[in-house]
Structure 1
Amino acid sequence: MNTQDLLDQIAFIKEIDKVKYIQRKTKLFQSDRNENDAEHSWHLALMAIVLAEHSDKSIDVLKVVKMVLIHDIVEIDAGDTFIYDLQKSHDNGDEERIAANRIFGLLPKKQAEEMIVIWEEFEAGETPEAKFARAMDRMEPLLQNTSNNGGTWQEFDVKYEKVYEKKSVIKEGSAILWQYAEGLLEESVAKGILKKE
């Protein structure tokens, strides 16, 4: 056994505990409490397992689970940027790259490289696994906001057109889930919890 590898792995495990303290704008289902990044990632992992059959292409579910579990770890350093933020672009690639190198770099070299490759694949969004993982990432807050009478859409006056644009990533991973998502968006407009411009 390589003692240094174990110590490095434990250091990483302790560091990622910080993900539990990163508050997201979305709230838990039918709740006033904000979700944290750890809860979000856990939920996406289970969604990926449960909904995998709806992927448009054959996928390696374990790889998808890895992607959704680690995709937001970089927010320990880079912070969480609200997807509908008008001041700051959601594409903070340089900050996240530095964070990925530091945080995953705590691991033994081989594991660090594997994590960074998986994180990069998710960010690029080009493989079937990445497309499905990103679909999960956009689907969960949609379900939360519809369960909370508009949630962050209402709180931050986010219009239908912007939500539709951001949620359309779902169709890259699953036509069936996108059809369902579009239905939820239309229902939300009909209920008045999501307004068109």
Structure 2
Amino acid sequence: MENLDTLLQQMAFIHEVDKLKYITRKTRLFNSDRHENDAEHSWHLMVMALVLAQHANEPVDILKVLKMLLIHDLVEIDAGDTFLFDTVLNHTNTETERKAAERIFRLLPEAQAGEFIDVWEEFEAGQTPEARYAQAVDRLEPILQNISNGGGTWKEHSIPYEKVIQKTQHIQNGSAALWDFAKALIDRTAEAGILRKEPTEM
């Protein structure tokens, strides 16, 4: 069979990324006690990105955005899910994630592996319109989840309002409209006493 080696490499990658379905995230499904897995998260982000694309600050190549959202969490097969509000680990591109990207994407034929790594790195850098918009959607989903669950992980881990704002405000880099919407939801949650505010110093 022509291109059998290529096909076998692609099949190995397809089998490997099935493991994403087993990576449990800290956030829960909307109005639910069940934690979502990374595959569900990636699917939901892609739907959101398609539906909300008109709200991006700049015109974007939506296919590239979808590629980013489809593959950006594959590194968690090796690295695991890092809670956005973790006080010990940074929710940023760690050396562990970079090694995971190399291992997982290198299962593919060389040209495809290079393309996937480039897309992953572009998302992580957050410097292009597509990456900024993709990151905005990635930060928006857990806000919606936590609010639907009466505070969700914010309440469970006693995350203050100020830290939620700090960790999510760069949504505005990809979409000012989505940030305005998200901040209004966060503010209402704080006003309702679900999300606590740190006392201000006199």
TM range (shorter): over 0.9
**1:175-186 equivalence runs, <5 A:** 175-186=176-187
Query: Displacement, 1:92?
Result: 4.7
Q: Secondary structure at the match of 2:26?
A: strand
Aligned residue number for residue 142 of structure 2: 141
Aligned residue number for residue 69 of structure 1: 70
Q: Tell me the distance in 1 between the aligned counterparts of 2:98 and 2:195.
A: 34
Query: Displacement, 1:191?
Result: 1.4
Pair 1:174 & 2:158 matched: no
Q: Tell me the distance in 2 between the aligned counterparts of 1:174 and 1:92.
A: 22
Query: Displacement, 1:93?
Result: 1.8
**1:33-182 equivalence runs, <5 A:** 33-182=34-183
Query: Displacement, 1:91?
Result: 2.6
Identity across aligned pairs (percent)?
60
Q: Tell me the distance in 2 between the aligned counterparts of 1:18 and 1:55.
A: 31
Letter in 2 for 1:24: R
Q: Tell me the distance in 2 between the aligned counterparts of 1:190 and 1:130.
A: 32
Letter in 2 for 1:88: L
Q: Tell me the distance in 2 between the aligned counterparts of 1:54 and 1:88.
A: 31
Q: Tell me the distance in 2 between the aligned counterparts of 1:181 and 1:143.
A: 8
Q: Structure 1 runs of 4+ off > 2 angstroms?
A: none
Pair 1:192 & 2:189 matched: no
Q: Secondary structure at the match of 1:85?
A: coil
Q: Decide whether the 8 Å contact of 2:93 with 2:124 is kept in 1.
A: no
Query: Displacement, 1:23?
Result: 0.5
Aligned residue number for residue 12 of structure 2: 11
What's the TM-score, normalizing by structure 2? 0.96
Q: Secondary structure at the match of 1:26?
A: strand
Query: Displacement, 1:79?
Result: 1.1
Q: Tell me the distance in 2 between the aligned counterparts of 1:116 and 1:153.
A: 32
Letter in 2 for 1:55: A
Q: Secondary structure at the match of 2:87?
A: coil
Unaligned 5+ residue runs, structure 2? none
Q: Tell me the distance in 2 between the aligned counterparts of 1:54 and 1:74.
A: 28
Q: Tell me the distance in 1 between the aligned counterparts of 2:16 and 2:166.
A: 34
Report how many residues are paired. 197
Query: Displacement, 1:165?
Result: 0.7
- After the TM superposition, which of the residue ranges 43-52 and 186-195 deviates more from structure 2? 186-195
- The alignment yields a C-alpha RMSD, in angstroms, of 0.7
